[in-house]
């Protein structure tokens, strides 16, 4: 790949986008994660794991014409390799990997021009909210925050200026489900130039493929399930339309947000075990959700029949994921539970091999209470975020240990008097 003003750019980017379409046979999702073929990357020694091309520049043999790679901001074989594999998993024409989930959103936002409009949810990831707020004031763009779990609310604000509809499902931490299929149909009928963008971080490509549900662009924080070990930051974008892919690649090349070679290697390594991690995590999540519901808490998890949007979720996704939340009715006791667990680590983020727990208290007196801290208190109240909400992100530990640890925490917080397990 070359700088955007070099003559080879067009030919190379079209060659690249066609690479991803060559897959001959389609396998089941677990096989697709681990079986890598047709990435279009040539390795001289037939390495069975893609080497880390830790280089900024590539030597050229021709004085006037650049080879496939020249400068790692523009392209690097380790990055092309993981992008091509991810395109297959996301059912995308083209994938781009960037330095974080937020830079993935940033390259998408640059498709929006001044005076256009964005429709987004009212229960979105705090960092997304922060970037959208910055973007709209800097660029004279209107952002409508609506309840995207009700397609009619989206319909009400769609108009000829709408450029992006930004969806996230399940939402976090309220675990509400958004009907991607219905909203895509509505958008197609009403604003043909509008793009439906789905943040698929909570499900990962293993459990849900928004591009197959009608979306134009899907993106993930690869920091979560895709990498799986909380040892790197990255973002992953997938797109059906090659022209859109080219426009976003322009920003990657122009700014240098493409993922660095070593991180591409770590990401690839994580993806190979995505299926075993998620299968294990969601099986445990189900048992934990049932246990907590049995104790009498209000539990939010799409695997429970009691979830009001159970059918909708399972119409779109192949599983329930491994993030759940529950309310205890008492902020102080919620805090006591969070601080009493030993295996469940208090941490932001999710999708890690370790189980995580955190209190979703978000108010101005505790401004550092993690990722939703960037949602102001007034907005939080309007969105009805309960203060006693505990979020659990289930890891790969033995589920009986996780249950015991949680049970001990419930005993010390005074919710149950003796062992129930």
- Chain residues that interact with ligand PLP, rule: CB under 6 A: 100-102, 125, 127-128, 168, 172, 199, 201-202, 221, 223-224, 233, 235
Whether 234 contacts 86, CB under 8 Å? no
Between CA 272 and CA 395 the distance in angstroms is: 17
Give me the residue label for tokens 């709408």.
162
Between CA 244 and CA 242 the distance in angstroms is: 5
Nearest residue (CB) to ligand PLP, 77 versus 235: 235
Q: Min. distance of Cβ 21 from ligand PLP in angstroms?
A: 28
Nearest residue (CB) to ligand PLP, 76 versus 201: 201
Which strands make up the sheet holding 356-359, listed edge to edge? 298-300, 323-327, 389-393, 356-359, 345-346
Active site residue 199: yes
Give me the residue label for tokens 């030993």.
342
Between CA 392 and CA 355 the distance in angstroms is: 7
Between CA 268 and CA 95 the distance in angstroms is: 13
Q: Min. distance of Cβ 106 from ligand PLP in angstroms?
A: 10
Among 116, 90, 114, 115, smallest CA distance to 104 is for 90
Give kind and range of the element (H or E) at residue 197.
Answer: strand 195-199
What six digits make up the tokens of 81? Answer: 């390799």
Between CA 3 and CA 71 the distance in angstroms is: 8
Nearest residue (CB) to ligand PLP, 38 versus 347: 347
Between CA 367 and CA 397 the distance in angstroms is: 31
Active site residue 206: no
Q: Min. distance of Cβ 181 from ligand PLP in angstroms?
A: 20
Q: Min. distance of Cβ 350 from ligand PLP in angstroms?
A: 7
Nearest residue (CB) to ligand PLP, 85 versus 391: 391
Active site residue 123: no
- Catalytic: which of 88, 94, 163, 224? 224
Active site residue 224: yes
- Catalytic: which of 53, 122, 123, 125? 125
Closest residue to ligand PLP, Cβ-based?
101
Residue 201 CB neighbours (<10 A): 26
Q: Min. distance of Cβ 325 from ligand PLP in angstroms?
A: 13
Q: Min. distance of Cβ 290 from ligand PLP in angstroms?
A: 25
Buried b (16+ CB within 10 A) or exposed e, 108-132: bbbbbeeebbbbbbbbbbbbbbebb
Between CA 152 and CA 159 the distance in angstroms is: 13
- Catalytic: which of 70, 122, 179, 199? 199
Residue 49 CB neighbours (<10 A): 11
Nearest residue (CB) to ligand PLP, 9 versus 172: 172
Residues in CB range of 209: below 8 A, 6 or more apart: 90, 91, 218
Nearest residue (CB) to ligand PLP, 1 versus 217: 217
Q: Min. distance of Cβ 266 from ligand PLP in angstroms?
A: 13
> Any idea which residues carry the catalytic annotation?
73, 125, 199, 224
């Amino acid at each position: 790949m070359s700088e955007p003003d070099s003559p080879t750019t067009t030919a190379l980017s079209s060659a690249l986008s066609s690479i991803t379409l060559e897959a001959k046979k389609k396998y089941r999702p677990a096989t697709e994660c681990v079986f890598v073929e047709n990435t279009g990357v040539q390795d001289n020694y037939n390495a069975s794991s893609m080497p880390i091309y830790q280089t900024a520049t590539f030597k050229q043999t021709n004085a006037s014409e650049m080879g496939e790679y020249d400068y790692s901001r523009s392209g690097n074989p380790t990055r092309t390799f993981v992008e091509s594999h991810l395109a297959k998993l996301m059912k995308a024409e083209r994938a781009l990997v960037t330095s974080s989930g937020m830079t993935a959103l940033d390259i998408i936002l640059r498709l929006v021009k001044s005076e256009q409009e964005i429709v987004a949810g009212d229960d979105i990831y705090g960092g997304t909210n922060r970037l959208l707020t910055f973007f709209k004031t800097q660029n004279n763009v209107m952002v409508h925050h609506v309840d995207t779990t009700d397609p009619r609310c989206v319909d009400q604000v769609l108009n000829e200026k709408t450029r992006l509809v930004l969806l996230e499902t399940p939402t976090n931490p309220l675990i509400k489900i958004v009907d991607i299929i219905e909203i895509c149909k509505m958008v197609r009928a009403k604003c043909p130039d509008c793009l439906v963008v789905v943040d698929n971080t909570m499900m990962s490509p293993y459990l849900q493929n928004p591009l197959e549900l009608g979306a134009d662009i899907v993106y993930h924080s690869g920091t979560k399930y895709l990498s799986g070990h909380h040892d790197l930051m990255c973002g992953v974008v997938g797109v059906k339309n090659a022209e859109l892919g080219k426009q976003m690649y322009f920003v990657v090349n122009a700014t240098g947000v493409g993922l660095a070679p070593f991180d591409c290697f770590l990401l690839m390594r994580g993806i190979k075990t995505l299926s075993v991690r998620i299968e294990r995590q969601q099986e445990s999540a189900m048992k934990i959700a049932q246990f907590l519901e049995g104790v009498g808490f209000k539990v939010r998890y799409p695997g429970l029949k009691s979830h009001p949007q159970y059918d909708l979720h399972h119409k779109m996704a192949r599983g329930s994921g491994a993030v759940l939340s529950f309310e205890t009715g008492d902020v102080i006791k919620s805090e006591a539970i969070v601080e009493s667990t030993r295996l469940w680590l208090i941490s932001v983020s999710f999708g890690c091999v370790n189980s995580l727990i955190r209190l979703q208290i978000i108010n101005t007196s505790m401004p550092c209470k993690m990722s939703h801290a960037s949602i102001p208190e007034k907005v939080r109240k309007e969105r009805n975020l309960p203060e006693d909400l505990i979020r659990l992100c289930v890891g790969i530990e033995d589920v009986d240990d996780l249950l015991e640890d949680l049970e001990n925490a419930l005993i010390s917080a005074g919710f149950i008097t003796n062992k129930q397990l």
